[in-house]
Structure 1
Amino acid sequence: MRIDQLDVALRARSEWEAMELGTALVRRHARAIWLPVIAVSLPLFVAVNAAAWWADAFGWAWLLMWWLKPVSDRIALYVISRGVFGEEPRPLQTLRAQRHWGWSGFWGYLGWRRFSPFRALLLPVNLLEGSDASQRSVRRRAVLGGTFGHAALLTLMCMLFELVIVSGCIAAIFLFVPLELLSDSWRAAWEMVREDMPAWARLGVNALFWLAATLIGPFYAGAGFALYLNRRTEMEAWDVEIAFRRMRDRLQQAAPLLVLALVLCWPMGALRAQEAEQAAQCAAPADADTDASDDEEEHADAVPADDPSNTAAVIFGGSPDTAGFRQAVQRAYEDPLVTPTRQVSRWERTQTDAEKKRKERDKDEKANPFAKGPRLPAQVAEWLLWGLVGVLVLLLAVTAPWWLRWLRGTGARRRSTPGAVLEEAVTMPEVVPPDPAARARDLWQQGRPRQALALLYRASVESMSERAGVVLPPGATEAQCLRASRRMPDDADRTLFARMVRVWQYAAYGGRLPEPEDFDELASTLQSQFRWRA
């Protein structure tokens, strides 16, 4: 199996996560799965039920359709096993592949293994691995080792889903029966099922079971395949292998760059070393020439005075006054402006041998900077660090308005913690007092504002029902009261009642109490408008 080409993320999953992955794969390849499944199962359903109609044996038709369900499972398994590699087959390709794909390991699931509750988990072992018959039992035991419980639960859940679909479709028929005829319809349906169900009813039940199996079967096969993938990932560490393969690919992609860097950096260091050596060699002959010229000058100074080529007559081309000339030359040399001399003394620290070696080593490194290897990675790392520091400084400068106020507030006075809010259960008064406005003001002064508003609302509802001439049902909601208030003849009364309802809703459900002045003004308005006793 080419696990490096899998189109799903392989990792250690729980069994429930693996089954969810399988259902997601089925949804991804829904068209490629259900088209061939229907193309195979629908003609089979028609042929089996036609034979059952002729032989009057619909029970055997249902049993045969149930027994052949693994045929649809293998179609879904074929599509999903190709789809996880990004190679979703077309419906026609899937149908053509069923003629020769996996039949050698499939016959057992149409025989003695048909009753196995682990069919969804073990079917990929027979159809996908291609192992010999002698090795399949070992592989099945290994794959089933730690997942048999979830495989059995998967089979049970899919069976329950099919039963729910069938029973739901049957119950949906009775939704179209009028309510007064429902009991008679149930009684007639029960008598028909108990005594002698007609052929069309049996065919309809078989069709519902076929529909449920067609809908749930691919999800059953997909969840079992995902359990199989998860089990093999745990056993063979596929996720670790894929991680190593991806690491190898990344290193192979980066290898040419590393080789190119070595090719470019190391020869440059060697060339610079050669240039430094050549420069040192060139400097040595120059020093030698300088020494030679100094030797020649010293040698010239050491020429004896009686040399014929060193006489004044030969040098100046005549017979000058030798004594006067010598005296003039002597005076010129004695002039301090011509040959100034001074004596300077300074202290220098004596260098140790280690310091001398270090200086020599620094000189060598300056002459050949690649003697210890290329410094480019170190320089790049240094630039990256400086860039990171710059980014951090920029982030600090940008986010200063958010964190600076916290620094400024470290020494500030702590705010006083508000006192605990006392909640009180609000109950509507059973009997409205004759002076509700005055009683509400007393409750407000006692620190019970919600009870005061409840009293005003209750009194306003009674006044509204009297003026509108309506009788409200027990427990009427605010919306029902507002609809009833539309029957009041006076528009001012309707507006005032709507205002009272809105204030009560804000206080009861939103916790927003009115100001004391607003409350007093509302109570006075209600008292004068609805003519309450003071």
Structure 2
Amino acid sequence: MQIDRLNVVLRARSGWEAMELGMALVRRHAAAVWAPWVAVSLPVFVLLNAVAWWTDSFGWAWLAMWWLKPLFERIALYVIARGVFGDASTTRQTLRAQRSWGWQGFWGYLGWRRLSPLRSVLLPVNLLEGADPAHRRQRRRAIAGGAMGHALLLTLVCMMFEIVLVAGGIAAVFLFIPVDLLSESWRAAWELAKQDMPAWMQLGVNLLFWGAATVIGPFYVGAGFGLYLDRRTQMEAWDLEIAFRRLRVRLQQAAPLLMLAVVLIWPGAALHAQQGRPSNAKGAVAAPAGDTPSLEDGLAPASDAADTADAADEDGEEVAEEDDPPLTYDNDPDNTLVGIFGNEPVDTAGFRQAVQRAYEDPLQSPTREVTEWKRTDTDTAEAEKAKREAAAKGSSQRGAKGPLLPAQIAEWTLWAFVGLLVVLLLVTAPRWLPWLRGSGRRRRATATAVVEDAIRIPDVAPPDPAARARALWQEGRPRQALALLYRASVDTMSERAQVSLPPGATEAQCLRASRRMPVEADRNLFARIVRVWQYAAYAGQLPTDDDFDTLATTLQAQFGWRA
């Protein structure tokens, strides 16, 4: 796998972050995922439900669509697996690739592995890695070992989302039913579902299940693919491998420059080595330029150096006197390069670097931080204090000439505000001081008496309700008049519809019962008096005198009331 082509940031993630990465891949390639998904699943849905309609058995059609979900999940996995490497897939390419891609290890997910809750994270192992069956079994065990909990939760959450979408689609149908008919519609739907659900209703339920699976399925596959990528990153250290590959590319690009630098620096380094070769005290000639001594060559002639020293003593040269200072590490000639390596040239630069690295090693020269208290010098502290006081005095003298004028203005403004506040408190003291002491009296507003006109619907309507209602209207009791007309209309509706209403029946119950009246004019007139009564009783909107008189006359004539 060419992991250096991945266009996602590979790093150690939590399970939830890995699932979010997979869902982000699905959102990025949404058109390439859902277009082939619908192009494949919709014909299968139509075919299965057509056969189910013909056989009058829709239950097995829904079960077959649910069982074939891994067949559609292959499409989403193919698109996001190519998209993670930056390869965009068209609908035609995706559908064409389904003929031969990944069938070798897929058939188990339409058989004994169909009910596995780890399908989302294990499906990429079979379809993307292409290993032999024995190796696939080990790979599935390794991949699922660290992602089992998140894969189980992913399956459960996606299943709950599909159920919610189906239930929401069913409930959305009842949003278009009027409130007055809602209870009867629920009852009728329940009776249909309990006794014998019609074919169109079963087809609608199957369509809702297909839509929910189409919406949630790609996200389920994407989240499982994110878990799969995270597990492989953890087990195979993909993030480190990508970093090393990028480092190799950068070094390959810089290799010509490094070779050029070596070619340019090498002659100068050789010349510096020739000039830096040491000579002996007798003026011995340095080694030839072509001679390149090694470390063993520099250590070998130690006896020759000792013989040279003895020869110098024999020739009568000066030797150390007794009053010379004692030898230390700094003045001991044996600690010099000539004393250690002899007169043969050595690579002193490399030796110094090696020694320097040895001294810089924290294991060879450990350091520690020591904190100790020391007594401060009193004279020094007093001098610093006097210097600060002199500086502050000088700055105050310089500021007095003008730079402190804005500060003084601000200070005067604040003092003026404080004085104004004190004056306001003194002026208003008679109002807040008694309240502060607790002796103030609160003024209690006298509550006005609320006059309510109780609306009471008579239990029994009089024989001449229209005449009695007109009398109440003339007395200034319009609501009582409308209540009387409403009560009389309910009695007449009950007689003509041949229904018995329960005590305390609501307006909605009366309207539903009025639909049983055989004459449409009676139903419309009863709906009119109910509407006028509701406006008057609950909204406070009364009809005009002419409208009330027209309504009473119409009710009397239509319902046959006595004048």
TM-score between both structures, scaled by the size of structure 2: 0.51
3-state secondary structure, aligned to 1:261: helix
Give the structure 1 partner of residue 43 of structure 2.
43
Matches within 5 A, 1:192-231: 192-231=192-231
Give the length in aligned residue pairs: 319
Q: 1:470 to 1:44 in 2, by over 3 A?
A: farther
Distance 1:259 1:197 in 2: 84
2:261 and 2:270 map into 1 onto residues whose CA distance is 14
C-alpha separation in 2, matches of 1:443 and 1:8: 74
| 1:152-177 Cα distance to aligned partner (Å, 9 max, x none) | 11111111000011111111122222
Which of 441, 446, 450 does residue 432 from structure 2 map onto?
A: 441
Give unmatched runs, 5+ long, in structure 2.
Answer: 278-329, 339-347, 351-387, 393-427, 453-563
Deviations 1:53-83 (A, max 9, x none): 1111110110010011001111000001100
> Amino acid of the residue matched to residue 148 of structure 1?
M
1:249 aligns with 2:240: no
The code of the aligned residue for 1:128 comes to L
1:233 partner amino acid: T
Extract unaligned runs of 5+ from structure 1: 278-352, 362-370, 374-407, 413-436, 472-534
In the TM superposition, residue 265 of structure 1 has moved relative to its aligned partner by: 2.8
> Within 1, Cα distance between the matches of 2:276 and 2:114?
85
The answer to whether structure 1 residue 55 and structure 2 residue 46 are counterparts is no
1:243 CA displacement: 2.0
Q: Does 1:101 align with 2:84?
A: no
Taking structure 1 as reference, are residues 63 and 272 closer, same or farther at Cα in structure 2, changes over 3 Å only?
same
Matches of 2:222 and 2:84, distance apart in 1: 11
Letter in 2 for 1:130: G
Equivalent residue, structure 1, for 2:2: 2
**2:34 aligned with 1:34:** yes
Superposition pairs of residues 392-431 of structure 1, within 5 angstroms: none
Q: Distance in 1 between matches of 2:133 and 2:195?
A: 49
**Helix, strand or coil for the counterpart of 2:138?**
helix
What secondary structure does 1:192 align onto?
helix
Q: Summarize the alignment of residues 501-512 of structure 1 with structure 2, pairs less than 5 Å apart.
A: none
Within 1, Cα distance between the matches of 2:182 and 2:40? 39
- Map 1:453-464 onto structure 2 (within 5 A): none
Name the residue aligned to 2:113: 113
Q: Alpha carbon RMSD of aligned pairs, Å?
A: 4.0
- CA distance in 1 between counterparts of 2:161 and 2:180 reads 31
User: Given the alignment of the two structures, is residue 130 of structure 1 paired with residue 101 of structure 2, yes or no?
Assistant: no
- 1:180-329 pair list within 5 angstroms: 180-270=180-270
Q: Could you tell me which amino acid in structure 2 is paired with residue 112 of structure 1?
A: W
Q: What amino acid is the match of 1:135?
A: H
Identify the residue that residue 175 of structure 2 maps to in structure 1: 175
Change in 2 beyond 3 A, CA 1:99/1:275: same
| Cα drift, residue 196 of structure 1 | 1.0
Structure 1 position 439, deviation (Å): 9.8
Shift of 1:255: 2.9
Which residue of structure 1 aligns with residue 166 of structure 2?
Answer: 166
Name the aligned partner's letter for residue 40 of structure 2.
Answer: V
SS at match of 1:101: coil
State the Cα distance separating 1:232 from its structure 2 match: 1.3
In the alignment, what sits opposite 2:90?
A: 90
1:196 is paired with a residue whose SS is coil
Structure 2 Cα separation of the partners of residues 274 and 137 of structure 1: 67
Letter of the aligned partner of 1:38 in structure 2? Answer: V
Question: Deviation string for 1:408-435 (max 9, x for gaps)?
Answer: 9xxx9xxxxxxxxxxxxxxxxxxxxxxx
- CA change 1:103–1:271 in 2 (3 A) is same
Partner of 1:322: none
Deviations 1:13-68 (A, max 9, x none): 11111111111111011011000001001111111111111111110110010011
Distance apart, 1:244 and its partner CA: 1.9
Q: Give distance in 1, aligned partners of 2:115 and 2:451.
A: 69
Distance 2:137 2:270 in 1: 66
Amino acid at match of 1:21: L
Distance 1:11 1:444, change over 3 A: farther
After superposition, the C-alpha distances for 1:391-424 in whole angstroms (9 at most, x for unaligned) are xxxxxxxxxxxxxxxxx9xxx9xxxxxxxxxxxx
1:261 Cα offset (Å): 2.3
The CA distance in 1 between the partners of 2:51 and 2:434, in whole Å, is 84
Counterpart of 2:461 in structure 1 is: none
The aligned residue for residue 144 of structure 2 is: 144
Q: Residue in 1 aligned with 2:281?
A: none
What is the CA distance between 1:251 and its match in structure 2?
2.5
1:510-521 equivalent positions in 2, closer than 5 A: none
Q: Once the 2 structures are TM-superposed, how far is the Cα of residue 142 of structure 1 from its aligned partner?
A: 1.6
String of CA shifts for 1:306-354, please: whole Å, max 9, x gaps: xxxxxxxxxxxxxxxxxxxxxxxxxxxxxxxxxxxxxxxxxxxxxxx98
For residues 481-528 of structure 1, give each alpha carbon's deviation from its aligned partner in whole angstroms, at most 9, with x where no partner exists: xxxxxxxxxxxxxxxxxxxxxxxxxxxxxxxxxxxxxxxxxxxxxxxx
Shift of 1:262: 2.4
1:155-207 Cα deviation digits (max 9, x unpaired): 11111000011111111122222222221111111111111111111111100
Which residue matches 2:537? none
Match of 2:490 in 1: none
Partner of 2:76: 76
Q: What is the Cα deviation at residue 444 of structure 1?
A: 6.2
State how far apart, in whole Å, the 1-side matches of 2:132 and 2:434 are: 89
**Structure-2 separation of matches of 1:2 and 1:230:** 16
The match for 2:355 is none
Amino acid at match of 1:441: W
Deviations 1:419-468 (A, max 9, x none): xxxxxxxxxxxxxxxxxx99963476459xxx99xx89xx8xx79x99xx
